[in-house]
Structures are given as C-alpha cells and as structure tokens.
Amino acid sequence: MFKNLSPRTAQIVRALIEVLKPRKENFDPPIDEEILKVADNFIGHLPSHMKFLLPLGLYLLEFGTLIFVPTFRRFSRMPLEEREKYILSWTESKIALRRDLIKGIKAICMTGFYAHPAIMQSIGYELEEHLRKINVGEEPTVPCDQEAYEYFKKLEETGRWGPVAGEPGRIKEKTE
C-alpha cells in the first residue's frame, strides 16, 4: 500500500496526523489518508540516512510512552486527548532530538494538509494566482517585491544565477 512506510510506521504517522492537523468546528475534512500518502511520498525523497533514522524516531515516539508518560499503551493506541498531551511534552522537551522529530514530521504532514484542494479552498488560497504573482519573468505587482525582483534580474543578466553542483538558486562564482 505504501512505498516508503511500513504498516507499523504508517500507523504511527496516521496517529500523529490526527494530533497535528488543524481542526476547526464544522470543518474537519476526512483527508488523513491523503496526508499520509503525501508523507509517504515525501519520506521517499529523503536522504538514505534519514530514511533509516526517521522510522527509528517514530518507534521511539511509539514506545516512548513507557518511559515518558509512563503508560503501557503505545502512542498510536492512546486516546486523542492523551496523544495531544504526549506530543506537547515532546515539543516542549529539553531534549532537542525529541523536539526536532516532531518538528520534522509536522512539517511533512502539514505540507500534505495545506496542499489538499479542500484546505486551499477553505483558506482562500489560489495556487494559479500565486504562481502568476511570483513569476520572475514579469514585473512584480507588489511594491515590496521590487527590490528582490531587481536583485535576481541583475544576477540573471550577469550570468551569476543558476544551479551550482545540483543546488538550485546558488550564486555562481565567475571563472574566467
């Protein structure tokens, strides 16, 4: 079913999505599985060491309830309210590794959440309109973008803008 998540890690991420995704009264679209698919796809593009370490972190989150709560229930088996408290304890932890794991998985999950058409529509985000506004080839319509537009246009004209060693958007060093 998933390309990059095992059934167990998918269960952990599914439980995390339920905790992390924003919920609003009268608006909670059933998009958890779509978010999970985005997370699965995103994880597939991580560097190989992260593909190995992220599941370890998820297992620590899952079974860390024995140490950090303490309870004999795994994270994914806890009621939503208890999971929310548990995740809050991770985000406020003095241990950077715990905080960073939640930040990373939250970023992945929120990418899937806000990229969903129902969410974009609910927050009034028009992707095509946004892409038209940020098109570098055209004059900006927002005054605060003028300085950035001129900077990047100058880099383009001098040939100092473009991919360097596979990294897009790096300034090229002039070699003559």
With 50 as the cut, is the pLDDT of residue 168 above it? no
DSSP 8-state code for residue 162: E
For 96, half-sphere exposure in the C-beta direction (CA atoms, 13 angstrom radius) is 0
With 80 as the cut, is the pLDDT of residue 150 above it? no
23: confidence class by pLDDT, cuts 50, 70, 90: confident
Least confident of 17-21, 86-90, 99-103, 135-139: 135-139
> pTM for this structure?
0.70
For residue 169, the model assigns a pLDDT of 47
Classified as helix, coil or strand, 167 is strand
For residue 57, the model assigns a pLDDT of 94
Residue written as tokens 């990047």? 152
With 90 as the cut, is the pLDDT of residue 75 above it? yes
For residue 167, the model assigns a pLDDT of 45
pLDDT: which is higher, 7 or 125? 7
Residue written as tokens 């973008």? 145
For residue 90, the model assigns a pLDDT of 94
With 50 as the cut, is the pLDDT of residue 154 above it? yes
d(CA 61, CA 70): 13
